[in-house]
Amino acid sequence: MNNTLFLSIFCATGLAVACEERMCTETYDYMLEACAANDSAAIHQLIHKGASLEMALFCAAREHNLPIVQELLKAGANPNCMFDGETTPLYAAIGNKSLGECDGWCGGSFHVSAYKGQNELVKALLDAGANPNMPSSYRKLTPLSEAARSDDSDTVNLLLAAGAEINAQDIVGMTALHWAALEHRNNIVSQLLNAGAQTHLLTCASEEASIVSRYGSGHGEDKLSPLHIAAHSGNTKGVELLLAAGVAPDTPDAAGNTPFLHAASAESQPLLRLLTDEGVDIHHTNNIGENALDQINFFNNADSLDALRYLLQAGVRPAMRCLFTRAALRQNIEVIRTLGEAGLRCHPADEYGNSALNELFIWARPKDEARIIEAIDLLMQYGGDMPTMGYRALKAASQAGMKRVYDHLLKSGAPATPPPDSDL
């Protein structure tokens, strides 16, 4: 074929496809508007012009327009259509507006049926033969999982009565119970447990799961149970419910993190206390040697300080990390003081070679000078070695334009030249 002719056909075909996609998108938008406005005449006109019954049904379900949904079902619309290959009308009806997340077309301002607690639409779709186990195409979330994270007890009951698989797992192995525990939907946690949900199912690593950012790091790879998920999200009530159902409180995940270590990561002092009362090993270390203290991030909030003080008072000491370095990164004066008062010492560098003094400048701004000077004095008081640590800090203060800090470092003994045998 002549190259010029081939290119002209290719470009024309591409333009035609683009125009078709644009027309489909515009028709979809018009259909949504018509369903939201309950404009039957506009809906019929769009169908007459080529819009499918399935597009209309999906849009009506999305906008929770029960009369239009009923009319379309009577006209023969398929309640199990996977609109644009993404989600079904049932899934669209159940999605949770408060999460702002859903697959494919199912995103934005809808997710209203379960959110408003109105289940007539869900019942109409189920009565018409909607499959309660058909998942979304992207994350493989079932309607039951979506109802669970939406905190809609009535819809959960409807789906279970219609044959929803209570232990169905999504793309990373999350079940409805996992989702309810993660989102602190504890009425649903109790409801699912009473209905026979399994508590031992684990999330599972998969190649597809790596693209699902909603789950966060490790939810697939670490093989987490609902108890691990509840603890990691700081869901104290959810943990109580799972323990009452007989779940062992000290089982580690694939990375060696027990619920106690997950509770420390959540910086939840009440949850740490609850698990301690259950008799767990508070000194447990995971597969890379970290314990509960090593999990705390030390952001500037009361929760992290409460969790830190609880662990220190319980006798836990860091197994790996120099906590002063992490506290310095956050410029968290109270944490630095708490660590020092507990007898911990500031090392010249952490396991990554980072100096606590140098970390003070990572997120520093000129207005932080007074706080940084206070932190420098505390770090030196609790074992910081200015001759070893000071030169890097001096360079960082100079680069940040912090003259007061620079002068304070010099007065405190920071060397103006690199120490011997350094790589600076």
How many structural domains does the chain have?
Answer: 3
Same domain, 336 and 365: yes
Half-sphere exposure of 275 (CA within 13 A, CB side): 37
Those residues with Cβ within 8 angstroms of residue 92's Cβ, 6 or more apart along the chain or in another chain:
58, 61, 62, 83, 102, 105, 106, 110, 111
Query: Which pLDDT belongs to residue 320?
Result: 82
Tokens of 232: 């990691």
Digit-coded pLDDT (tens) for 359-392 = 999 888 888 999 999 999 999 999 988 888 888 8
In a domain, 283, yes or no: yes
State the chain's maximal CA–CA distance in angstroms. 85
In a domain, 4, yes or no: no
Which domain does 199 fall in, by range?
166-320
Q: What is the CATH number of the domain that holds 413?
A: 1.25.40.20
> Alpha carbon of 223 to those of 168, 177, 281: distances in Å?
16, 15, 20
- pTM for the full predicted model: 0.84
Query: Which pLDDT belongs to residue 143?
Result: 94
Query: Which pLDDT belongs to residue 209?
Result: 47
Query: Which pLDDT belongs to residue 302?
Result: 87
In a domain, 275, yes or no: yes
Task: Compute CA 213 distance to the chain's CA centroid, rounded to the nearest angstrom.
Answer: 8
Residue 95 near residue 102, CB atoms below 8 Å: yes
Of the three residues 268, 292, 320, the one that is the final residue of a domain is 320
CA dihedral 190, 194, 196, 197 (to 10 degrees): 0
For residues 124 and 65, give the distance between their C-alpha atoms in angstroms, rounded to a whole number. Answer: 11
Residues of the chain falling short of pLDDT 50: 1-23, 96-117, 208-219, 424
In a domain, 353, yes or no: yes
Q: How does 305-327 read in b/e, with b if 16+ C-beta sit within 10 Å?
A: bbbbbbbbeeebebbebbbbbbb
Same domain, 111 and 131: yes
Tokens of 306: 């409460």
In a domain, 6, yes or no: no
In a domain, 138, yes or no: yes
Query: Which pLDDT belongs to residue 5?
Result: 34
